[in-house]
Amino acid sequence: MKNIAYSSPASARHEPRIPVLPELCDAAGHKGPLYECSFYGNKEVGAKLNAMLEMGASKPWPDALEAFTGSREMSGKAMVEYFAPLKQWLDKQNAGKTQGW
């Protein structure tokens, strides 16, 4: 989103995009894990995303988020779902190992 500071780490700049991913996937008719969703070339999804992005800096980002998702609150739920396969793999790789520094 445009209001994210350029000085923030790359992961923090991309993080706000994940909460809207379920809405994009729903609009595309995707059924299945979030990490498998693709809405490439989907006109309906493009129109929905474009409508949010057209607000640009003219509205505060919570207004754009609410127009897109129906909520002014960001949730980490989509991020947890999206990265669940990675978390499972990491848990398996680290099983039995001492954690911490």
Domain ranges, ordered by start, for the chain: 20-94
The pLDDT of residue 16: 56
* Cα–Cα separations (whole angstroms), residue 79 to 1, 61, 87, 97: 16, 19, 11, 25
- For residue 3, pLDDT over 50 is answered with no
> Once rounded to an integer, what is the mean pLDDT over residues 72-76?
83
Residues in the chain: 101
- For residue 2, pLDDT over 50 is answered with no
pTM confidence score: 0.65
The interaxial angle of helices 61-69 and 43-53, nearest 10 deg, is 150
20-70 pLDDT, tens digit each: 888 889 989 999 999 899 999 999 888 888 888 888 888 888 888 888 888
